[in-house]
């Protein structure tokens, strides 16, 4: 019997306490061995050139590694220091910056776009900062434009020109009445940060979040700067790897342009969920869905769910050639991050299985490669 199945059978017999302690959990060494097996099984499926994983529990680093190739053309191996695009995981950074401004009375969640920004469609004016944060604004998302947006992927665009793409698109619903995931809303939040601070969004995050919390390999990830150990993204076509189609990073910007490492995501998770980034009241709002956002379980830049009763605060990210799954489990002070440089595999499944191993929950045979 494999170590994966022995662990699953053992922990299935143990009851789940309300708050997990070290005595309730599998040892770090056991989890590390299981994580290595899971990562190798994931790679063997052939859905990505590389995978980076980070598992930190109670401040102890259990796994921080990568398998595979970060750059196929130059045969560069991936490592825990490899810098991947993290897509919409960016949104929690933008949300945290907004909440810091709210705490300083530079913004209010009830402020409307009509009060804050000029030159927007009349229908957008009643939308509040809160509705932008939790995707209940009704403003159309430019990423839903399909071909009319894709044909402009190669063009560097300003935030004004990005949101202008949907100026003539009708509102999806009245503000605050429904929920729909919305990248335009987070570009608008970046514009608000720039207006209030007088600093470009990326530079503000660097000053406000990246430097203070020691995120030395986290960037706004625009195209021009040289970023050490930057990973290349890929897609599969007829079983062969191809470079992912180019997308100028001025498009996603504050909705999804950041890049980072699994090392830095673990640092970020510990800082944000450890009460170092925003106040307890702000954090509660970021992680507590309300109104129409309760059904999808979405707060401000963060989703809320559970694995077998264990609370999970997480967000995924998908952008050309990259996918990310980043999660925090407060019952065990557990951070789990998975990043891949492919759009052809699902890191969320691996993240959840790694979390199960670290939480002492039974593993599902399909996720381990057994029973297939």
Domains of the chain: total: 1
Find out whether 305 and 296 touch, Cβ atoms under 8 Å: no
pLDDT by residue for the chain (372 residues), tens digit each? 343 343 333 333 333 445 566 568 999 999 999 999 999 999 999 999 999 999 999 999 999 999 999 999 999 999 999 999 999 999 999 999 999 999 999 999 999 999 999 999 999 999 999 999 999 999 999 999 988 899 999 999 999 999 999 999 999 999 999 999 999 999 999 999 999 999 999 999 999 999 999 999 999 999 889 999 999 999 999 989 999 999 999 999 999 999 999 999 999 999 999 999 999 999 999 999 999 999 999 999 999 999 999 999 999 999 999 999 999 999 999 999 999 999 999 999 999 999 999 999 999 754 433 322
Phi first, then psi, for residue 328 (nearest 5°) are -130, 135
Q: How many CA atoms lie within 13 A of 11 on its CB side?
A: 24
Give the Cα separation of 356 and 307 in Å (integer): 8
Q: How many whole angstroms separate alpha carbon 359 and alpha carbon 144?
A: 37
What is the SS3 assignment for 17? coil
Q: How far is CA 174 from CA 119, 182, 370, in A?
A: 20, 14, 48
346: domain CATH number is 3.40.710.10
What pLDDT, on the 0 to 100 scale, is given for residue 347?
97
Q: How far apart are CA 74 and CA 152, in angstroms?
A: 28
Choose among 145, 186, 134: nearest CA to 167. 145
- Phi, psi angle pair for 230, to nearest 5°: -65, 130
- For residue 162, give the DSSP letter: H
Residue 131 Cα to chain centre, angstroms: 19
CB-based contact 309:317 (threshold 8 Å): no
Note if the pTM is more than 0.85. Answer: yes
- Angstrom distances, CA of residue 195 to CA of 115, 118, 215, 236: 12, 11, 25, 41
Other C-beta atoms lying within 10 Å of the C-beta of residue 117: 16
* Alpha-helix runs per DSSP H in the chain: 3-11, 28-44, 90-103, 113-116, 129-133, 147-150, 159-164, 183-197, 201-205, 262-273, 280-287, 347-359, 365-368
Full residue range of the structural domain in which residue 82 is found: 3-368
> What is the C-alpha radius of gyration for the chain, rounded to an integer number of angstroms?
21
């Amino acid at each position: 019997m494999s170590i994966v199945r022995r662990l699953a059978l053992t922990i299935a017999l143990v009851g789940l306490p309300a708050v997990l302690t070290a005595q309730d959990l599998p040892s770090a060494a056991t989890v590390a061995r299981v994580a290595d097996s899971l990562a190798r099984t994931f790679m063997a499926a052939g859905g990505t050139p590389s995978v980076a994983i980070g598992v930190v529990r109670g401040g102890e680093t259990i796994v921080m590694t990568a398998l595979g190739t970060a750059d196929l053309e130059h045969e560069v191996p991936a490592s825990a220091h490899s810098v991947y695009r993290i897509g919409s995981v960016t949104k929690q950074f933008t949300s945290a910056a907004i909440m810091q401004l709210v705490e300083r009375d530079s913004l209010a969640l009830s402020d409307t776009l009509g009060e804050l920004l000029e030159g927007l469609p009349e229908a957008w004016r009643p939308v509040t900062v809160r509705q932008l944060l939790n995707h209940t604004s009704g403003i159309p998302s430019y990423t839903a434009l399909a071909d009319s947006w894709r044909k402009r992927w190669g063009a560097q665009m300003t935030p004004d020109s990005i949101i202008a793409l949907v100026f003539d698109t009708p509102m999806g619903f009245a503000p605050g009445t429904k929920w729909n995931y919305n990248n335009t809303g987070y570009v608008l939040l970046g514009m608000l940060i720039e207006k209030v601070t007088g600093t470009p969004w990326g530079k503000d995050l660097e000053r406000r979040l990246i430097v203070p919390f020691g995120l030395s390999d986290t960037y706004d990830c625009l195209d021009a700067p040289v970023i050490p150990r930057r990973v290349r993204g890929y897609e599969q076509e007829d079983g062969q790897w191809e470079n992912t189609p180019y997308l100028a990073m001025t498009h996603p910007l504050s909705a999804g342009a950041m890049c980072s490492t699994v090392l830095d995501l673990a640092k970020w998770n510990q800082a944000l969920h450890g009460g170092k980034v925003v106040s307890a009241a702000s954090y509660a709002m970021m992680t507590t869905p309300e109104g129409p956002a309760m059904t999808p379980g979405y707060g401000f830049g963060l989703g809320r769910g559970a694995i077998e009763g264990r609370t999970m605060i997480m967000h995924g990210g998908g952008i050309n050639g990259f996918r990310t799954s980043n999660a925090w489990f407060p019952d065990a002070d557990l951070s789990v991050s998975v990043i891949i440089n492919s759009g052809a595999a699902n890191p969320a499944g691996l993240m959840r299985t790694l979390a199960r191993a670290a939480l002492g929950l039974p593993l599902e045979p399909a996720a381990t490669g057994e029973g297939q």
